[in-house]
Structure formats: structure tokens, C-alpha cells
Amino acid sequence: MKATFSLTVLLGALGSVAMAAPTLSAQSIIVNPVPTELSVKVWTDRDASGTQTPSYVPGEKIRLFTSVNQDAYVYLFNVDPQGQVDLILPNRFQGGENFLKANTVKAFPAAGDAFTFDIAAPYGVNKVLALASRTPLNLDQIATFRSGQNSFAAVRVTGQQGLAQALSIVVTPVPQNSWVTDTAYYAVAARSAAVPLTAPVAQAPAAPAPRTAQALSVQVNPTGAAPWGSAREWSTVVDNQQDLRALHDRYAAFLKAEGYVQSSVRSKPSEVKSEYRRANGGKAELTVKRKGNRVEVKVERR
């Protein structure tokens, strides 16, 4: 269940002393300390309540939804626990439309959009932050659309702490009763561990999508024992249709569960190879390589 966040971090005396500054929760989420009648809600297609953490597996498609109770501009960010931040709304896939009328729902992607939002490994919990404002906000210090780029803006901040601090500066000049935030969560899990907390919400089928936008995620420990057991060298061959990086990250999760820390990773069109170290001096290598119509997965531990 979504927690009620305590207001713990004060972001300086910006503005007059009588004005309460934006605050950060213990979970590094920007919170408006002033009561406001404006409200915003964000949720995924597997949890219309927005209070749980539904699971998805790499390759599945996700849709995000947001709504407001008053006319407002909505800014939507995806943050993974590794610090990667994506600005989802506004974006150039949908023409930058981020103004929402009261009591309407904005879907990402909307039916008929020429792209999909696909889940990708590594595994873990992602946070979606929605910020609604009655007036447009200037996000120049956070994100920039590069000239000729037909996608998402390049985000210059990293981590939820950095994003929250940057947003607190952005909203400081805005009347305090005119902005509000909400958060939703979703997890990327290995297929054997992906059990949605709620049944998927029925949605109208989307049009064919020639472009793909990848969802962000973070690594977590997999369920069950590593397939190689105690063997120092292990390999297997799988179907060629699997995504190399997603397959790599699936087996990397087992190594990390054994205490290995990734020290490097190299990607080629036909191969993904990574190296790992452990506190006791142990080393490991993981290679996922396409060979003809099959993919070989090889693990070496020393």
C-alpha cells in the first residue's frame, strides 16, 4: 500500500519567511506543504487504484494513466532506483500535449499513438512521479529537447533525490496552492516471479506501433536457486528470439544474488558480456552470445 509520506527535509528558505518551502519526504518525493484543492492521480494499467506495485516482465507493454480534478499541466517522470530519470510528459511522441482538462484521463501511450512503452530488464521497482500545476512550469534546468529529436527530452538530473530537489526549485515561484504531486510504482520481475497484485485493467486495443519507448527498471534478486548450482563453469542454449540484454540481465540477477558486484559490461549486436567481483576475491564472467538460430548463455566463476 502506498505510504503516507512524512515531511522531513526542508529545502531552504526560498521566498518569504511566511511561505512554506517545498519539502522532500523520507522517500525523496517532493511534497507541497500547503493545502490545495488541486489533486492529481497517476496509475498503471494493472492497478487502477495507484496504491500497489504490480509486476511486469521484460517484453510486456505497460500503459500509464494520469488525471486531475481541475484544469492543469501535468509533468510525468519515471525514476528507477539506479538513478535513471525519464520525462514521460511532455514528449514529442504525443506532440508535447500535457495540458489536461478537469476529470479527464491522459493515457501514455494513448490509443492510436505510433509507439509503445515496453518493459525492459534489469529488474526492480520503478517510481512514476506526477506533478500537476495550474500554470505551465519551466523545466529547462531539468530536461531539454534536443534539436531534431523526436522522442523524450534529455533529463539532466539523476536519482529521485536530485529530481525532487530540482522540482522544488521549479515550483518555488508558483503560487503554493496551485501545484501537487502523486506517485505510483511498478516492478519489473523475472517471468517466474511476475505475479500482478491486481488483475489487468481492460483497455481498448492500441494501433500497430512502429516505434518503441522502453520502460526503466532496476536490478533485484531473482527467486529460486541459480541454475548452475555449485558448478564453476556452466552453459545453456536457448531460443534465438529472446532479447539478448534482457536474457543477460536475467542471469546477472542470479550472480548478484550470490554476492557478486558487476564491474563491467560490454554490448555488441550479437553478444553481451559482463564481469563481476565479490568481496572475498571471487570473480565471475557472464556471456550471452547469439550463434546462428540459437543463443548461448555461459557463466564462469573463479
Sequence ranges of the domains in the chain: 7-214, 233-301
Predicted pLDDT of residue 3: 34
* pLDDT of 12 higher than 60: no
Grid coordinates in use for 237?
Answer: 542454449
Collect contacts of 287-293 with beta carbons under 8 A, ≥24 apart: 288/244, 288/247, 288/248, 288/251, 290/240, 290/244, 291/237, 292/240, 293/240
**Burial annotation 109-140 (CB, 10 A radius, 16+ → b, else e):** bbeebebbbbbbbbbbbbbbbbbbbbeebebe
Mean pLDDT of 106-132: 82
pTM: 0.58
Sheet strands side by side (includes 7-10): 7-10, 23-25, 30-31
Mean pLDDT of 22-34: 80
8 Å CB contact between 177 and 36: yes
Predicted pLDDT of residue 152: 67
Predicted pLDDT of residue 230: 85
Mean pLDDT of 268-294: 88
Mean pLDDT of 88-117: 79
